[in-house]
């Protein structure tokens, strides 16, 4: 593990690293075991709740069997059989869990009432009790026989009626115990794949999950017998996302409040529909999907409520479902929204992107005009390229839904492109550089703090060394004369680059601010 040439101190450091790694691994293991323990608690609680719900559903089915024996007596009988089979199977799994805990010598903490999850990291009891090498032991075979018998018995109760086909398919998926193909390509027995070599708490949790599947099977079958096809009801393909806003209009800057739910249309015709105290003609209001169309004059400006109720016939009695909603009434638009996307002014000679719209009016009914203004393709998007003057006015008009017209205008200031700054090696103003960096460096002109992407190309500048005449340079690098002057400059001398001229793809550019470079060598 360690080289004999290592010093005692180095050996001690290596040992400390090993201890640290072991401690980290131990902590991670405890976290995973605790996570399984929390899942076990969740499944246990869920199973208790599911049992209570299933008992109520079964009681409702028995009640219907007494009220309408011709419709529900046979279904209630099937439900009773499913309950008996499921209770027997559930109890058997509970016995397996007790055996694992007893055989592994784990007990509930008398203070917390919980199992010692962080200590349940071994699965020796299951490995020895359920398996014999690569095969199943007598107990393992018995477990598989009990699972398969439960599946066979439940299917026998359900029968071959076509309306139960979907339920049987889901049941088979829940209790699929076929051999599983491992990552290495080899096939493993279902029990081996899911339980062999796992910590005891993981196996306990999986057994609780199977008990949850039993309760889900009961709930599903009971609902089918009641005429509520749960498999179809919970299939997400049957649903659509529906946005439910707290109100049907929001003002600019206001937070959107609402929720998104999964739902579907209930194509059931009501016996009565009342909105705002007025009864609605059902023949005119209800469409083919079962939705009721609303058609009324809105109230005054501000937030308004919609109140009403649906009335349906269920079990021979009227069932009333309240209609509660609201909407916001806003004034008719009389002013346009005109804004520069970048700033409050427009710059001469460049493309200033703008957004122009009229509140509540579609883009195809809005027109805008101004010197240098043109559409940019997308809805509400424009580009303005001002050329002369100190200000420009944009006029906007819109055609409203009732055919009337509204108009507005706004004036913007026109500013020239600011003067750029000169740079060498990405620096501007006064700074130090080695002589060689100055000799080979490129002079650039940059529009600092300018919101538009306008690249500049330096076409020339002047170079001045103390005690020597200035040199005029064409392009963006020192020429031969400038380099000769640079070589004669003393160490620490400050050379100047000024009268920096540049060009853009658009407007004329002012000379860039000069650069003063102190030679560091």
CA distance linking residue 358 with residue 348, whole number of Å: 26
Q: Tokens 């006064």, residue?
A: 430
460 membership: H or E segment, kind and range? strand 457-464
pLDDT of 11-33, one tens digit each?
A: 555 555 554 444 444 444 677 77
Whole-number pLDDT of residue 24: 41
Cα angle, residue 491 at apex, residues 515 and 517 outer, rounded to 5°: 10
What token pair was written down for 402? 């009732």
pLDDT value at 292 more than 70: yes
Reported CATH class of domain 336-415? mainly beta
Categorize the per-residue pLDDT at 464 as very low, low, confident or very high, splitting at 50, 70 and 90.
very high
Whole-number pLDDT of residue 80: 92
CA distance linking residue 267 with residue 265, whole number of Å: 6
Which of 282-291's residues contact partners 24+ apart within 8 Å by CB, and which partners?
Answer: 289/265, 290/265, 290/266, 291/265
Whole-number pLDDT of residue 335: 62
Whole-number pLDDT of residue 402: 67
363 and 357 Cβ atoms separated by less than 8 Å: yes
pLDDT value at 232 more than 50: no
Helices (H) and strands (E) in the chain, counts: 11, 25
Whole-number pLDDT of residue 466: 92
Q: Cβ–Cβ contacts within 10 Å for residue 303, how many?
A: 13
pLDDT of 143-159, one tens digit each?
A: 999 999 999 999 998 88
217 and 174 Cβ atoms separated by less than 8 Å: yes
Chosen CATH of 421-519 out of 3.40.190, 2.60.40, 3.40.50, 2.60.120: 2.60.40
393 membership: H or E segment, kind and range? strand 391-399
Best-predicted range by mean pLDDT (168-177, 330-339, 357-366): 168-177
Task: Give me the CATH code for the 239-329 domain, please.
Answer: 2.60.40
Per-residue DSSP letters for 257-292?
Answer: -EEEEEE-------SEEEETTEE--HHHHB-TTSPB
């Amino acid at each position: 593990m360690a080289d004999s040439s290592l010093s005692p101190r180095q050996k001690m450091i290596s040992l400390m690293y090993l201890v640290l790694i072991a401690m980290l691994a131990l902590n991670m293991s405890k976290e995973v075991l605790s996570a399984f323990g929390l899942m076990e608690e969740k499944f246990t609680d869920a199973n208790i709740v599911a049992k209570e719900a299933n008992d109520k559903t079964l009681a409702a089915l028995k009640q219907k069997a007494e009220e309408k024996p011709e419709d529900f007596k046979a279904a209630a009988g099937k439900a009773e059989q499913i309950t008996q089979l499921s209770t027997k199977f559930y109890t058997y799994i509970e016995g397996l869990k007790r055996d694992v805990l007893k055989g592994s010598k784990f007990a509930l903490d008398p203070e917390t009432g919980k199992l010692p999850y962080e200590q349940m990291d071994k699965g020796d009891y299951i490995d020895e009790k359920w398996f014999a090498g690569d095969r199943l032991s007598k107990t393992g075979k018995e477990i598989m026989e009990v699972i398969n018998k439960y599946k066979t018995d439940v299917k026998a109760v359900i029968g071959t009626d076509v309306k139960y086909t979907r339920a049987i398919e889901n049941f088979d998926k829940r209790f699929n115990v076929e051999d599983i193909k491992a990552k290495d390509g080899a096939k493993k027995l279902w029990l081996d794949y899911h339980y062999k070599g796992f910590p005891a708490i993981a196996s306990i949790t999986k057994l609780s999950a199977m008990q949850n599947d039993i309760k889900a099977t009961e709930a599903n079958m009971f609902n089918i017998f009641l005429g509520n096809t749960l498999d179809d009801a919970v299939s997400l393909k049957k649903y659509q996302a529906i946005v439910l806003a707290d109100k049907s209009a929001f003002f600019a800057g206001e937070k959107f409040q609402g929720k998104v739910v999964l739902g579907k249309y209930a194509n059931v015709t009501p016996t009565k529909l009342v909105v705002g105290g007025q009864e609605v003609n059902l023949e005119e209001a209800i469409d083919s999907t079962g939705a009721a169309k609303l058609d009324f004059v809105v109230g005054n400006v501000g937030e308004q409520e919609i109140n009403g109720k649906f009335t349906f016939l269920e079990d021979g009695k009227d069932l009333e479902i309240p209609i509660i909603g609201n909407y916001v009434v806003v004034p008719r638009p009389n002013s346009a929204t005109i804004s520069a996307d970048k700033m409050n002014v427009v710059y001469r000679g460049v493309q200033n992107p703008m957004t122009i719209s009229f509140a509540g009016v579609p883009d195809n009914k809005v027109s805008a005009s101004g010197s240098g203004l043109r559409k940019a393709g997308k809805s509400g998007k424009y580009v303005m390229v001002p050329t002369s003057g100190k200000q420009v006015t944009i006029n906007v008009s819109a055609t409203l839904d009732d055919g009337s017209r509204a108009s507005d205008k706004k004036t913007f200031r026109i500013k020239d492109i600011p003067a750029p700054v000169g740079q060498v090696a990405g620096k501007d103003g006064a700074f130090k550089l080695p002589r060689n960096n100055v000799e080979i460096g490129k002079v650039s002109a940059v529009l600092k703090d300018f919101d538009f992407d306008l690249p500049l190309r330096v076409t020339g500048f002047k170079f001045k060394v103390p005690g020597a005449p200035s040199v005029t340079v064409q392009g963006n690098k020192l020429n031969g004369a400038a380099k000769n002057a640079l070589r004669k400059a003393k160490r620490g001398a400050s050379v100047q680059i000024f009268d920096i001229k540049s060009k853009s793809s658009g407007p004329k550019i002012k000379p860039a601010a000069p650069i003063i470079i102190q030679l560091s060598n």
